[in-house]
Amino acid sequence: MPGQYPSCLTAYPKMPPPKRPPSKEGGLLRQENSHWAFTNPDLWDSLLGSQARENQFPPKGRENRFLRGRLSLYYKKEEERSGQPVGGNPFGSAHRPTAVPTGGKVVRMQGVGSVHRAGLVWGASLLALLTRMQAILSVGLTGVFWGGLLAAPGQGEVFVLQNGGRIEGQLLNPDQSPRSLYLIRTPEGAQIGLEARQVAQVLRRRPAELEYEKIKPTYPDTVEGQLALAQWCLEHNLLSQRREHLERVIQLDPNHPEARRALGYMQINGVWKTQDQLMQERGYRLYRGQWRLPQEIELLERKEAQQAAEREWFAKLKLWRGWLGTNKEEQAVRNLETIREPAAVRPLATFLQDEANPAVRKLYIETLARIHTPEAVKVLALRALEDPVEELRLTCLDYLKTEPRPDVVALFISKLKSKDNKMVRRAAVGLAAMKDPTAIAPLIDALITTHTYRIDPPGGPNAMSVTFGKGPGGSGAPGGGTGMSFGGGPKLVKIPVQNQEVLDALVKITGVNYQFNIPAWKSWYTQYRKTLQPPAADARRG
């Protein structure tokens, strides 16, 4: 119970229960010369009482001098308050603590030697409890530990600790390299030693920030005073502080136009609104620093989920590919056979493109066929054109031709205009498999295509040739003669090509055959479009 006589103090039976002075000071501890004094007895009593009941304090002797120092400070404070000795004080004025432990380490005070570590064994427990109590007792005790004990404005550095705490002070060993210890002088003059691993970040305070701390109290809490201070902050690039003072201005004068506009307000129909409020009223949401409609956010999140799923499939396929050819090959094949998720399509397409083994490519093709999404179908259509193995191209077509697929037909038709004659012929094979009448006209145009080929000179690029000329008067007459030339580089020649695969596709789709007679095919197609029915077998069909 708070105020109860701590059980650990039974070594001092004459000591009365501590009196409880009013709790008016903001910090947990207050520095007095080279030691710290408790400034909130309610918190003191709660902490020390609970620790004492758990018998975590050393009961007596030299190892108890930290607790003895704390109690002596309490009695010293009572004596100063009342102006007379407090009865039952067993310590007198000679006992003073020499350090406050932090994180189980000694906090060295300026002008005071280090403390025997054994006397501070319980320091980590107390500090951990202080840290927890900071959040609990924050109402009315702003900055209970770090703010009251070790932090104060006007110092050059801010040391952000791994546990989230902050210490402001001056770094005394800035040149140490590699960094193992931070020696810090607090505003009260105390010196603190922190191991490098305890510090997460060191923030350097700019001279303008230090100057701001000095001049801030000199500006009155009026509209004019706060507006002037906001302007000073703007001139010194202290934007967060400027905003704080502008907000104070509109607290004092809600319709102050200059402060409102500086804070981003606009007056709409007599009402001041921020840009954020206007965007929210229009249905937008601030998403990752940008205003977006809910539909956009949904699409972005869906895309991110898709990408995350694809990354997982990349990892799985890489693992299973490694199993092929080992004693886990059967398991890898079974795993591939069970894939049905659309998110696996893009990873499968990548592995299919990079795979050199035709047998493994066939496994990927069969897996894509089972997924059967538009994306998977597109991959199969491209593979029907690009795979170097004819058997695999035909395997893709076997899956594609099972149902009408206008998108696949359109892809094949576009490839009939390819500069590569090999691609033209493969596209014709695909159209023959699909048997779509919309391909008739493009196929007629592709019966004979012109392609550019590179022709090397006979004998190679450096071959030599000799020519003999004859003039009007016979051999050796003027105008005749003998010449010698060396072969030039390769030549590019355009050659028309009759595409047998295109003709085969036309015959398969239409049931007629006009060979490579393009005018005859076009005449037939004109009649076909009028009747929308293929004509009877033509006598010229061969």
DSSP letters of 248-305? HHHHH-TT-HHHHHHTTEEEETTEEEEHHHHHHHTT-EEETTEEE-HHHHHHHHHHHH
Cα gap 419→411, rounded to integer Å: 15
* Architecture per CATH, 210-282: Alpha Horseshoe (1.25)
CB 362 within 8 A of CB 354: no
Instruction: List the chain residues with pLDDT less than 50.
Output: 1-66, 86-154, 468-480, 534, 539, 541-542
Prediction pTM value: 0.52
Domain ranges of the chain: 7-147, 151-205, 210-282, 300-446+500-531, 448-498
CB 512 within 8 A of CB 538: yes
Give the number of other Cβ atoms within 10 Å of residue 324's Cβ. Answer: 16
| Amino acid present at 79 | E
pLDDT value of position 72: 57
Q: What is the pLDDT of residue 187?
A: 76
Q: Which CATH architecture has domain 300-446+500-531?
A: Alpha Horseshoe (1.25)
The yes/no answer on whether domain 151-205 falls in CATH 2.30.30.520 is yes
Q: How far apart are CA 225 and CA 233, in angstroms?
A: 12
Among 433, 446, 359, smallest CA distance to 402 is for 433
